[in-house]
Amino acid sequence: MTFTTPPRPLDAEALFPGLAAHRATATRLHPRAGRPTARDSHVGGPLLWPSGEPWPVCDEPHRYGGPLLAVAQLYARDVPDLPPGPGGCDLLQVFWCPFDLHGPTGYGMNVRLRWRRSAEVREVLAPQPQPERVGFDGYVPEPCVLHPEQVTEYPYIELLTGELGERVEEWEDAQEEAGHEAEDEGAAAPPTYQSDLSVAPGWKAGGHAAWNVTGPGSTDCRDCGRMMRLLLTVDSYEWRSDSESWRPLPTGADANRPTGVAVGNFGRLNVFACPRDPAHPHRFSVQ
């Protein structure tokens, strides 16, 4: 099945000359319930993991240490906006610990990414390790196949600077005021840059990151100082009440939360990678 994002309600580049320089493509993954195999890109299915290679475990000190949960895997052949991996790797595999017991606060996530060359895997590990306990059901993804679709995005509004940023902010304020008036009259609110024209919701690879909780944060590579790029977004929802215009068609009963994953307070996890050397450590942001 093909899932399609409806056309944007307005032409952002016609509205804001100069915005085209900030255009990026992202690949919405459109996960839907299915029965993926280790040879598929997916969420929540078996990984293409060599039978002779140790499975990753949580190495941070807490009482529930054990095997990490397999979250997703993405083949470069399926996901146009997946940045290249180190040394010709074409498969990205994502893990996390199913407990919020990490980092300086003791309440953070422990996310692990592994790149590999899929052609080098001959015998796949089966069965694959599972943790005996999980701290939160929202860490356990439902098996989903993917239906990738490329879309166009523009930066989060607070990242637009100078005269362009001022024009977008002024227009946004006017649209929001018109939206309040429409709500009072029981009418539909007009589109806004933030909700309808900039960053697509849902699971995706590449594109621009949303910063709706913390505001824009540092994405500089800790190894080389270069600004990192968005690698992957893991989202609790495929769209929200303020981003209905991104709701893909056709829409099924499980379309908004097909993976069952809940990041933080039902937000999103942004994963950033260094464009100079994808082997450099990733950075993470929960929004």
Using 50, 70 and 90 to split pLDDT, how confident is the model at 279?
A: very high
User: What type of residue is 184?
Assistant: D
Which 3-state string (H, E, C) describes the chain? Answer: CCCECCCCCCCHHHHCCCHHHHCEEEEECCCEECCCCCCCCEECCCCCCECCCCCCECCCCCCCCCECEEEEEEECCCCCCCCCCHHHCCEEEEEECCCCCECCCCCECCEEEEEECHHHCCCECCCCCCCCCCCCHHHCCCCEECCCEEEEECCCHHHCCHHHHHHHHHHHHHHHHHHHHHHHCCCCCCCCHHHHHHCCCCCEEECCCCCCCCCCCCCECCCCCCECEEEEEEECCCCCHHHHHHCCECCCCCCCCCCCCCECCCEEEEEEECCCCCCCCCEEEEC
Per-domain residue ranges of the chain = 12-286
12-286 sits in which CATH class? Answer: mainly beta
pLDDT at 131: 94
Whole-model pTM: value is 0.95
pLDDT at 251: 78
Tell me which residue of 285, 282, 4, 3 sits closest to 156, measured CA to CA: 285
Q: Tell me the mean pLDDT in the region 243-253.
A: 87
Assess whether pLDDT exceeds 90 at residue 65. no
pLDDT digits (tens, 9 = 90+) for 145-198: 999 999 999 999 999 999 999 999 999 999 999 999 998 898 999 999 999 999
Q: What are phi and psi of 5, to 5 degrees?
A: -75, 130
pLDDT at 9: 98
pLDDT at 104: 78
Tell me which residue of 110, 105, 93 sits closest to 59, measured CA to CA: 110
Bridge partner list, 113: 94
pLDDT digits (tens, 9 = 90+) for 25-63: 999 999 999 999 999 999 999 999 999 999 999 988 788
Radius of gyration of the chain (CA): 20
- What order of strands is seen across the sheet that includes strand 144-145? 32-33, 144-145, 42-43, 69-75, 91-96, 111-116
Q: Are strands 91-96 and 204-206 parallel, antiparallel or unpaired?
A: unpaired
